[in-house]
Amino acid sequence: MRVTDSPAAKFNPPEMPGPSNSRGGAQKRPAGPQAQPDTAKQARASSVFSEGAAKIAFPQTRPAAASASAPAAKPNRHDDSYAGFVLNTKVPELGSADTSAILGKVADNVSLSRGYLANQRTADAINSTLAEALEKSPTFRHTVSFASSQGLSDLGKVLFQTVYEPTDGGFIDDIELGDVYEAYEEGNPLPIMNVAEACERDIDGETRHAVNIGIAPNSEQFPAEYKFWQECLVHELTHHLCDSGDPNDSTSLGPTELLARQVAAEAGWGEMPGGSYNDPARTSAMTDRNTKALIAALGSHDAPVLFDRLKEICADAPAGTALPASDVSDSESDSDAG
Ligand SMILES: [Zn+2]
């Protein structure tokens, strides 16, 4: 079982597994993407935080200040109230030395993950997004500390991967680059797609938490999509950090998305699409974002080289560690991403 946040609503598996159940290697998933639409509602996005805060009574912006010394009974990890449980659990506050040390480890693990990452833009965006979240978001710092104090996950040990799989459940080797372009030009779903998830990966004999995330959109070309990508990265990490699940109903955002949106608000990433976890506005925005990012990346790299790399990653055959650089015209925006 894995936590899957997918735009491909048509697959719609009902499972809502937690990160502890997730599994890692992309190659172990012959069935193709199971889309667990990470839903949402954006219609209410502007009121999500205040509504959520009022309803579940968690601090809106300064979770570290929560003074509840004896957390109430632990809610179900799929319920919105679990977010309040996380935020109201008193944990040590992270200082700048702590966050600096964590970011150093994150950079090491992004580097260690290079064989499973599509391009340099994505590697850079992971580093800059987590730096931004740690710097600007008390909620993110709180969840990192919560994870540590609860023995859940170490942000400094999480690996990353960019796995695209066949959307029809077939084999990626049967898909040609031309099929991708043809689908795009005809306005059809792309034959390969990333299914964001909190998963695990074995490395050097050790099973590590990992996050599977799509290619990062160019932050200048697609600013809204990039911020949504950042929030998605935080969402998947939050599964690991908080052991939070996704909702079991069709109307909630779920604790993971509630926490991720609070991080996004604090980091200044704006409102996120959709008002519930499975809101079509949210799932279609994911598909749109991933489609734009993939097509743009294919256009900015040597497309056959990048496409072959995606196939290698999908087959869990680590691609070369030399990441395709972003195209020249994009290079400046990379450094601005964070
Ligand atoms: Zn999720």
pLDDT tens-digit profile of 292-337?
999 999 998 889 999 999 999 998 876 666 777 755 344 333 333 3
Distance 60 CA to ligand 1 centre (A): 21
Sheet strands (E) in 158-295 = 159-161, 164-166, 192-194, 196-203, 206-212, 275-276
Compute CA distances 110 → 74, 176, 207, 309, whole Å.
33, 29, 16, 17
Distance 4 CA to ligand 1 centre (A): 6
Compute CA distances 265 → 49, 60, 101, 282, whole Å.
9, 10, 24, 17
Check residue 164 and give its pLDDT: 96
Judged against a pLDDT cut of 90, whether residue 157 lies above it is answered with: yes
Low-confidence winner among 70-79, 216-225, 285-294 (lowest mean pLDDT): 70-79
Distance 19 CA to ligand 1 centre (A): 9
- The contacts of residue 34 (CB under 8 Å, 6+ apart) are 4, 6, 11, 13, 15, 195
User: What span, in angstroms and rounded, lies between the C-alpha atoms of 160 and 180?
Assistant: 24
Q: pLDDT tens digit string along 191-231?
A: 999 999 999 999 889 999 999 999 999 999 999 999 999 99
Closest to 247 in 3D by CA, of 36, 85, 87, 84: 36
Distance 68 CA to ligand 1 centre (A): 27
Find out whether 167 and 8 touch, Cβ atoms under 8 Å: yes
Q: Are strands 40-41 and 3-5 parallel, antiparallel or unpaired?
A: unpaired
Give me the residue spans of the domains in the chain.
3-324
Check residue 5 and give its pLDDT: 53
Distance 171 CA to ligand 1 centre (A): 25
Distance 256 CA to ligand 1 centre (A): 6
Label residue 72 by pLDDT band (50, 70, 90).
Answer: low
Find out whether 165 and 32 touch, Cβ atoms under 8 Å: yes
Distance 104 CA to ligand 1 centre (A): 26
**What is the 3-state composition of the chain as percent helix, strand, coil, each rounded to the nearest 5?**
50, 10, 40
Distance 258 CA to ligand 1 centre (A): 10
Distance 327 CA to ligand 1 centre (A): 31
User: What span, in angstroms and rounded, lies between the C-alpha atoms of 215 and 227?
Assistant: 13
Q: pLDDT tens digit string along 224-273?
A: 999 999 999 999 999 999 999 999 999 999 999 999 999 999 999 999 99
User: What span, in angstroms and rounded, lies between the C-alpha atoms of 95 and 99?
Assistant: 6
Distance 329 CA to ligand 1 centre (A): 34
Judged against a pLDDT cut of 70, whether residue 68 lies above it is answered with: no
Q: At what angle do helices 81-88 and 254-267 cross, to 10 degrees?
A: 60
